[in-house]
Structure 1
Amino acid sequence: MLSVVWLDEAISDLIDIVTFIAAHNPGAARRLKTRLEGAPLPLTEHPYLYPNGRVPGTREIVVHPNYVLVYRVTAERIEIVSVLHAREEYP
């Protein structure tokens, strides 16, 4: 079973998103944070559960209609690369 590791950029993305939403709706920010943090949990047993990402070597989880979690699978672990707003230009 692979472990899930959030890379620094993804942690920063998560903090920025939650902080922005919390300024307007703290309850929604808490709920979204819980969803974003919980989304990768099934990956420990099923790392290829979600479709290939727009960047080669990545995969994407649509956690919420507005947010996408980008990850990559390595031999040792699953790396959460970034958290994106769906309207954000990516890559």
Structure 2
Amino acid sequence: MKVLWAPEAEQDRAGVWSYLSADNPQHATARMDELFSIAVSSLAERPNPGHSGKISGTRELIPYESYRLVYEVENETVWMLALLLHRQISGVSSGYARPIK
């Protein structure tokens, strides 16, 4: 399977890196990038390790403590839809979107 990031998920990832680098620039971003990369890579091999998502058709994986990866599997593609900090989760009210093919 291939893994693709929706533009919104890419923005989420950039936002997380900005947030982390403000607190501990070198260690935080390198370590978290490694953890997220491992989690996302594992989805290419086993796309359903997470639990059912809050939105129908999505799944969620917790790569590290208070972070949640939201994704969906379609045919041979795992779409990364969002990367959320735990404090953001309660405020999610709309559906996630992926690029239209």
* TM-score over 0.5 for the pair: yes
Q: What is the CA–CA distance in structure 2 between the aligned matches of 1:67 and 1:24, rounded to whole Å?
A: 16
Flag as ranges the 4+ runs of structure 1 deviating above 6 A: none
Match of 1:17 in 2: 16
Equivalences, count: 90
SS in 2 for 1:39: helix
Match of 1:84 in 2: 84
CA RMSD of aligned residues (A): 1.2
Identity across matched positions, percent: 30
TM-score, normalised on structure 2?
A: 0.81
Per-residue deviation, residues 59-81 of structure 1 (Å, max 9, x unmatched): 00111111000000001300000
Match of 1:71 in 2: 71
Contact 1:14 1:33 in 2 (8 A): no
Answer 1 or 2: which has greater helix percent.
2
Q: Report the alpha carbon displacement of residue 90 of structure 1 after superposing the two structures with TM.
A: 2.6
Gaps of 5+ in 1: none
The letter of the residue matching 1:56 is S
